[in-house]
């Protein structure tokens, strides 16, 4: 993208270049900007300090907007280019080869469908039932292949690809990406439970991705099922059922019993016909990364959805910051293949780095070209993170000082799949709190390694491992370094532990508990004790250890503590409602009849997030 500032010249501002547009590539340093503007570095630096504060030098990276504003000060219209050059050239080359093929060669492709919905509404059961009915008994073992998507065929022979986006609320980040690999969203709503916050959230994702929605009213066999009520709820969200004159197909199904599933799939296929889904059956493949993980015996594995072209064994592919030659292709049934066409989900090996869920992948014509783009992408990512770390301003410095005084929790997170890492990073980000720092020092795919333990030792971090583990050597090393490694199978448990860690670091809340009131009936003067209030306890109890407030005509005259508490002539620890007592207050003498002494204690309450 580019960002352009209108040239604005103020009286007395140096203007070595005026009128023209100067282009500069991001990231921008003061030095680079000064060269582009043909202005002395010091001049640009002084101007920059006015805008972003002290603490910068000529090698500091500034953000694009600041660069444009600085250029304006020198009467120059600046254009900051952030598109990565090699990548831009590659994408244009691929588009040109597609255009050369022409429309006539396009073929129909299977629709890609995602089932979204509330966590308890039976989405997983629904998908499992659809999948197992589509797989012949002889292939039942194939169902264990989980590659984030699979193809099913209806009884009429129509093929659909189901993209299985995880359903937990925490997987929002992936779901937002998953929706772009998808042509149709099946919104699963339990007929007995109705619309839930996650139902709305899923619908918003589908709408944001401009995806067609079909509703599956699930659990129709349950006693409390009330599809009409659910339709009314959905209508308020803007999904009008067809039978009410709207355009949304709503089908009653039971994932448990398999009722209505065939009708649902056929209906989804019918809706997809209207979309006229077409793709190139040949030529260099491109598509989207659904998942990435390290598998024992296979190494780095990427789960891809081919969207265009034909992916063949031996092709050079580029995905995110990873590239390599495709060594093997497996389909969702675990069968080894030589190639894969549009809408087919496959698992491939051969990449040197794990891509990120949602990254696009392309087949390119040489390893050199793939390496050039991947290296450029990695450099760009590093530069961006450096910009985020190094963009310094006066406010930032104050913030850094303030943060240093807060309690800090350092975490290292490992997971079995790239998708899970993304989710964990997103979730930890949601735990931000004003009173403490939570730092995710490293998040990666695979088992806990010795270098993870090294980092944890030097940074006083805890290691949390999701669906992955640590070998005996790593565990021993952790024990020696007193590093805590915790393993989790359930995402909720891991997040709850982070919550508990944070709650343990929060300063407790101090609360007042009023224990009782006493009315001053008489005031006795004593040369030894000063004024003593002869009181009657109206309610509760007064204690020798009480904090006290003196109320006169409902106004607070004094706040302090009880100095002495006597009953008859003896010191008392506690005097209860309905009894008389003598009270003196600490450092306070002006007691009058009808004053009320309110006794309270301050308790520390453990805070929760």
pLDDT at res. 545:
94
pLDDT at res. 513:
93
Quick one: average pLDDT of 505-518? 89
pLDDT in tens, 268-308: 999 999 888 888 888 888 888 888 888 888 889 999 999 88
Least confident of 80-84, 186-190, 409-413, 517-521: 80-84
pLDDT at res. 104:
65
Cα–Cα dist 53/233, whole Å: 53
Cα–Cα dist 466/488, whole Å: 5
pLDDT at residue 393 is higher than 60: no
Rounded to the nearest 10 degrees, how much is the dihedral formed by the CA atoms of 234, 236, 238, 241? 50
Higher-confidence residue of 60 and 548: namely: 548
Cα–Cα dist 182/200, whole Å: 18
Cα–Cα dist 476/592, whole Å: 71
Cα-Cα-Cα-Cα dihedral sign, residues 226, 228, 232, 237: positive
Q: With beta carbons less than 8 A apart as the criterion, state whether 505 and 407 touch.
A: yes
pLDDT at res. 402:
60
Q: Where are the alpha helices (DSSP H) in 391-431?
A: 394-404, 418-430
**CATH classification (class only), 406-505:** alpha beta
Domain at 84-108+279-391: CATH architecture:
Beta Barrel (2.40)
pLDDT at res. 172:
46
pLDDT at residue 264 is higher than 70: yes
pLDDT at res. 83:
54
The angle formed by the CA atoms of residues 349, 445 and 202, to the nearest 5 degrees, is 95
Tokens of residue 161, six digits: 């690809």
Using only the alpha carbons of the chain, give its radius of gyration: 34
- Quickly name the fold that domain 110-276 has: Rossmann fold (3.40.50)
pLDDT at residue 362 is higher than 60: yes
Give CA 26 to chain center in angstroms: 27
**C-alpha closest to that of 77 among 9, 149, 170, 132:** 9
* Domain locations in the chain as residue ranges: 21-81, 84-108+279-391, 110-276, 406-505, 509-605
Q: With beta carbons less than 8 A apart as the criterion, state whether 361 and 323 touch.
A: no
Q: With beta carbons less than 8 A apart as the criterion, state whether 308 and 98 touch.
A: yes
Decide: residue 532, CB within 10 A, 0-12 exposed, 13-18 middle, 19+ buried: buried
Decide: residue 202, CB within 10 A, 0-12 exposed, 13-18 middle, 19+ buried: buried
Quick one: average pLDDT of 406-420? 87
List of residues 6+ apart from 40 with CB closer than 8 A: 34
Q: Say which DSSP state 170 is in.
A: G
Mean pLDDT (the chain) is 81
Decide: residue 393, CB within 10 A, 0-12 exposed, 13-18 middle, 19+ buried: middle
Highest mean pLDDT among 92-96, 119-123, 427-431: 427-431
Least confident of 9-13, 120-124, 210-214: 9-13
The CA-based diameter of the chain, rounded to the nearest angstrom, is 111
pLDDT in tens, 443-462: 888 889 988 898 888 888 89
Quick one: average pLDDT of 92-109? 71
Domain at 509-605: CATH architecture:
Beta Barrel (2.40)
pLDDT at res. 220:
84
pLDDT in tens, 9-21: 333 333 344 446 8
Give, in order, the Cα–Cα distances in Å from 601 to each of 141, 518, 546, 564: 66, 15, 6, 16
Higher-confidence residue of 398 and 412: namely: 412
Quick one: average pLDDT of 321-347? 91
pLDDT at res. 384:
60
The percent of residues above 90 in pLDDT, for the chain, comes to: 28
Q: Where are the alpha helices (DSSP H) in 102-134?
A: 123-134
| HSE of 322, CA atoms in CB hemisphere, 13 A | 24
Strand-pair partners of 23:
79
**Model-level pTM?**
0.62
Quick one: average pLDDT of 107-130? 79
pLDDT at res. 8:
35
Identical fold at 84-108+279-391 and 406-505? no
């Amino acid at each position: 993208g580019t960002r352009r500032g209108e040239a604005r010249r103020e009286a007395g501002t140096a203007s070595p270049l005026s009128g023209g547009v100067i282009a500069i590539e991001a990231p921008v340093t003061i030095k680079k900007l000064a060269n582009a503007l043909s202005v002395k570095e010091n001049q640009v630096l002084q101007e920059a300090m006015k805008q972003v504060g002290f603490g910068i030098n000529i090698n500091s990276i500034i953000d694009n907007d600041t660069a444009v504003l600085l250029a304006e000060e020198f009467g120059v219209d600046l254009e900051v280019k952030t598109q990565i050059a090699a990548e831009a050239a590659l994408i244009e080359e691929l588009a040109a080869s597609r255009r050369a093929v022409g429309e006539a060669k396009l073929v129909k492709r299977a629709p890609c469908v995602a089932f979204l919905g509330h966590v308890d509404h039976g989405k997983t059961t629904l998908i499992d039932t659809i999948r197992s009915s589509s797989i012949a008994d002889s292939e039942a073992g194939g169902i264990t292949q989980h590659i984030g998507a699979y193809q099913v065929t209806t009884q009429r022979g129509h093929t659909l690809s189901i993209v299985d986006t995880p359903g937990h609320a925490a997987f929002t980040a992936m779901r937002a990406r998953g929706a772009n690999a998808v042509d149709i969203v099946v919104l699963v709503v339990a007929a007995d439970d109705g619309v839930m916050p996650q139902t709305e959230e899923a619908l918003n994702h589908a709408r944001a991705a401009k995806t067609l929605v079909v509703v599956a009213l699930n659990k129709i066999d349950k006693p409390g099922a009330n599809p009409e009520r659910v339709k009314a709820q959905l209508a308020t969200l803007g999904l009008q059922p067809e039978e009410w004159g709207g355009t949304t197909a709503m089908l009653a199904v039971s994932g448990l019993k398999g009722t209505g599933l065939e009708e649902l799939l056929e209906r989804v296929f019918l809706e997809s016909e209207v979309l006229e889904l077409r793709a190139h059956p040949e030529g260099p493949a491109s598509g989207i990364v659904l998942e990435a993980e390290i598998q024992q015996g296979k190494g780095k594995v990427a789960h891809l959805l081919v969207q265009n072209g034909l992916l063949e064994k031996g092709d050079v592919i580029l995905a995110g910051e990873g590239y390599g030659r495709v060594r093997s292709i497996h389909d969702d049934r675990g069968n080894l293949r030589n190639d894969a066409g549009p809408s087919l989900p496959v698992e491939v090996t051969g990449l040197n780095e794990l891509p990120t869920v949602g990254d696009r992948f392309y087949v390119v014509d040489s390893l050199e070209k793939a390496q050039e783009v991947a290296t450029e992408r990695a450099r760009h990512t590093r530069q961006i993170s450096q910009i985020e770390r190094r963009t310094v301003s006066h406010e930032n410095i104050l913030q850094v000082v303030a943060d240093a005084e807060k309690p800090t929790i350092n975490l290292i997170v490992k997971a079995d799949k790239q998708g899970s890492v993304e989710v964990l990073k997103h979730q930890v980000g949601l735990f931000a709190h004003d009173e403490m720092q939570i730092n995710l020092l490293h998040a990666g795919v695979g088992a806990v390694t010795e270098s993870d333990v090294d980092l944890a030792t030097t940074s006083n971090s805890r290691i949390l491992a999701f669906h992955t583990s640590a070998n005996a050597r790593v565990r021993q090393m952790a024990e020696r370094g007193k590093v805590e490694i915790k393993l989790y199978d359930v995402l909720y448990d891991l997040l709850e532990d982070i919550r508990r860690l944070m709650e343990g670091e929060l300063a407790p809340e101090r609360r007042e508990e009023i224990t009782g009131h006493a009315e001053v009936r008489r005031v006795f003067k004593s040369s030894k004790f000063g004024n003593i209030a002869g009181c009657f306890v109206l309610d509760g109890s007064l204690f020798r250890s009480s904090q006290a407030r003196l109320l006169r005509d409902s106004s607070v005259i004094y706040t302090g503590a009880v100095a002495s508490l006597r009953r008859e002539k003896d010191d008392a620890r506690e005097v209860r409602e309905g009894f008389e007592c003598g009270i003196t207050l600490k450092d306070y003498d002006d007691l009058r009849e009808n004053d009320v002494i309110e006794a309270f204690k301050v308790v520390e309450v453990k805070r929760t997030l």
